[in-house]
């Protein structure tokens, strides 16, 4: 009986890895082209780009409500719906966006899908693991997702550099990848409907996680919105170059995600999150001062390097997830607590880009990243307060 249970667990885990591969392809395509798509097709200014983050991140803010409403479906079915929604959003961006206003609708659909998948992914991964291997198993899931991203980056580089690929073709390709991802998750054992006793979780025990989520959301959104925008608007970086940077990020991250997973298991969440905060503080300074200290040709290399390092550290989010899992009073708290954290992150995600865009226009992009350095320092102080309570 135990052997049969292990067989089904490994089968489901392998299907989940396959889904991660395909969703990585879809996400990699979007990451490579979305900012250039906004710049080339809709000619956005810095302040409009900042304001666009409000509708783009709104689904993330409301994800706690969405996941609570769909909790009876269980994490696996929610993941299927989320991947299907992301695919539909990419199809709309590529084929059904004749105006800026309509594009926003499809952008929000894609965002809703990815944000539905975000909190249930670590929950599903950990449900197919034991506590001693949480970090390593989530690292494996992340590595497969990054492998998919590498495929996407190669595809975009070849397509835009040699085959005159259009944004429409690229977005439709992303749709196909998400359909395959949804199909793979759909083949997993779903179990019975899950009616969680706790729909919304706000416990004092998890308060540090909530604060870290907000701080992380603020810092992440500055990099997500303005780091590629600096490369595009200041240094004229094209989609194929973002594909190359993405490939470098993915290749590095396949190793770093497994390493981070092992560090979580061996050194703990406080060590990992402290290291992240120190590194991100240095990266913020690199963004802010490279163009002032060095020539443009050297500055773009340094900023591109900061872009690569920053994106290579995204797997550190696993440490916040495993932290919640280890201090959870009840296992039923994990997914709703993670979804609450995602919603709280998006309070900052919707507000920060507005002020960042206005700050860029009034002072310059360097000031945006100086503000991010202050946030990174606050993240360092808070990360040192982590304790695994039993």
**What are 53-108's pLDDT values in tens digits?**
999 988 877 877 888 888 888 899 999 999 999 999 999 999 999 999 999 999 99
DSSP-derived letter for residue 384 is T
Domain count of the fold of the chain: 1
Average pLDDT, the chain: 87
Show the domain range for 209: 2-383
Q: What is the pLDDT of residues 12-57, one digit of tens each?
A: 899 999 999 999 999 999 999 999 999 999 999 888 999 999 999 8
H helix intervals, the chain: 2-42, 46-61, 63-69, 75-95, 100-127, 134-162, 167-186, 207-233, 239-266, 269-293, 296-312, 317-327, 334-362, 365-383
Question: Would you say residue 388 lies in a domain?
Answer: no
The answer as to whether 390 is a domain residue is no
Write the pLDDT tens digit of every residue in 110-127.
Answer: 999 998 998 788 888 878
Residue 267 in any domain: the answer is yes
CATH number reported for the structural domain that contains residue 369 in this entry: 1.20.1250.20
Is the pTM higher than 0.75? The answer reads: yes
pLDDT at 241: 93
Residue 112 placed within a domain: yes
In a domain, 88, yes or no: yes
Residue 50 makes CB contacts below 8 A (sequence gap 6+) with 225, 226, 353, 354, 355, 356, 357, 358, 360
Q: What is the phi/psi pair of residue 74, to 5°?
A: 90, 160
123 in a structural domain: yes
Residue 389 lies in a domain: no
Instruction: Kindly state whether residue 55 falls inside one of the protein's structural domains.
Output: yes
């Amino acid at each position: 009986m135990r052997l049969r249970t292990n067989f089904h667990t490994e089968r489901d885990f392998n299907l989940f890895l396959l889904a991660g591969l395909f969703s990585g392809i879809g996400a990699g395509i979007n990451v490579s082209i979305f900012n250039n798509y906004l710049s080339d097709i809709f000619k956005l200014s810095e302040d409009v780009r900042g304001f666009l983050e409000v509708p783009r991140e709104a689904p993330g803010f409301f994800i706690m409500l969405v996941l609570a409403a769909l909790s009876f479906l269980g994490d696996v079915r929610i993941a299927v719906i989320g991947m299907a929604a992301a695919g539909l959003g990419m199809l709309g961006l590529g084929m059904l966006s004749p105006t800026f206003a309509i594009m926003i609708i499809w952008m929000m659909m894609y965002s809703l899908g990815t944000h539905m998948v975000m909190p249930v992914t670590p929950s599903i991964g950990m449900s197919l693991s034991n506590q001693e291997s949480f970090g390593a198993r989530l690292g494996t899931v992340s590595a497969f997702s990054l492998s998919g991203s590498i495929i996407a980056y190669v595809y975009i580089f070849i397509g835009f550099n040699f085959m005159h690929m259009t944004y429409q073709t690229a977005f439709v390709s992303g749709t196909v990848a998400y359909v395959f991802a949804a199909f793979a998750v759909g083949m997993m054992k779903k179990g019975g409907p899950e009616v969680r006793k706790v729909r919304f979780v706000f416990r004092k025990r998890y308060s540090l996680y909530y604060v870290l989520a907000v701080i992380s959301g603020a810092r992440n959104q500055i990099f997500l919105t303005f780091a590629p925008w600096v490369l595009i608007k200041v240094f004229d970086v094209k989609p194929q170059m973002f594909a190359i940077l993405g490939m470098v990020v993915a290749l590095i991250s396949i190793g770093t995600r497994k390493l981070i997973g092992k560090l979580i298991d061996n050194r703990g969440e406080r060590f990992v999150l402290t290291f992240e905060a120190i590194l991100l503080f240095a990266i913020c300074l690199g963004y802010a001062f490279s163009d002032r200290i060095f020539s443009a040709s050297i500055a773009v290399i340094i900023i591109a390097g900061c872009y690569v390092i920053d994106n290579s550290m995204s797997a550190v989010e696993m440490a916040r997830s495993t932290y919640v899992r280890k201090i959870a009073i009840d296992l039923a708290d994990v997914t709703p607590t993670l979804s609450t954290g995602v919603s709280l992150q998006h309070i900052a995600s919707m507000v920060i880009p507005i002020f960042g865009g206005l700050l860029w226009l009034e002072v310059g992009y360097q000031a945006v990243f100086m503000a991010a350095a202050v946030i990174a320092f606050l993240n360092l102080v808070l990360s040192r307060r982590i304790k695994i309570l039993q």
